[in-house]
Structure 1
């Protein structure tokens, strides 16, 4: 992968997230005076062009400050693998994982590599900026006005943001369920697995457990695994007190 600058890398990552069901916000201010590079309903992301050891440490320090404002989002550092000292970068990433911070070496992760390849065939990895940004993004405020209004703007935006993130999550789960049920009716394993991949990251523990178990059934049994959809739901409803809707099919009443 090659990106001419950090902005291009951020745009690439933002567009990938959007295409995988995330509502993406860029350069979101926080009371500390810093900004979150990318915010979604699931992630608060600090981007760096190349993830050297010292770069990872600096990004982790920033995230430790910012994560208190976004307790529902997973902190992530994203960027490219360095050509040199990559082993120390990987070791640092493992240490950060223990503190709850994920590190995405996007040039080593198949979903991003595949997306980059598709963009390259279309003429390059340059992509348009995400459609949603912080309400005052791009506006120039005088230093005095910014100092007076910054915290009030952030508080109002944060309340609205959290509401929108919850609604977005619920809506995405609903779309994934619709896609899954349509795929099950047609015994379409590919689309079923795509829907299950999204459901597996649901904040609803019952939904994510169902997605993991049903995906495993399809992996092990192929199309015959579709017959397990309702037995899996019933077991989770009985054992874990879940409330998964049972939608009968001819092959799985």
Structure 2
């Protein structure tokens, strides 16, 4: 297969790839920040896709070094490097693609995938600009393996139980941390452990829920003003917020409240 694809920029390539994935039913999030540093250019239920400026050997290895530390944060995703076959050193690029596949990283040479080429060249609505750009592959080698996970995209369907992270990739982690803070709080209140209770309230005070944040503020104030007797105020504070502000804070029974 010999085709000529041109993109004005890496952003245009990402846009075309994102549209193509959506055309196959994938939910696509763009420019998703990684937990530590950097961003995932395209995040789908199956893939965390990175689009470097080129797929030359140097850029490939640089991208591998950059994304490997992120693998632990995306245990349910296959890591992908996507772009156009380089004009030079294409054999070395293909060799690298084979070498890194066992590491859980696929390389997609988009200009050698017939489905992507057909989709891109057939865009008629809001087409991507094609000036005399720099991201160009005019005569890709047909023998270079496309693969590496491409068939999985084409076969994917809507049965997928989507588990996309939100824009900051932290919502699930935040909810889990808040749940742990609640459990730690209830355990500490049961035995009147002041230090652990205050530490738990500090974390709950940063909650995105106004009800949780207000509860943490009021309960902390009570403890600091009344000392250990303030522990008895936990349920009255929750009950007041539930009645006055429509909160749904869980009321628990403690030995000291009976």
Scaled by the length of structure 1, what TM-score is found?
0.50
Q: Judging by fraction of residues, say which structure has more helix.
A: 1
Structure of higher RCO (CA pairs closer than 8 Å, 6+ residues apart): 2
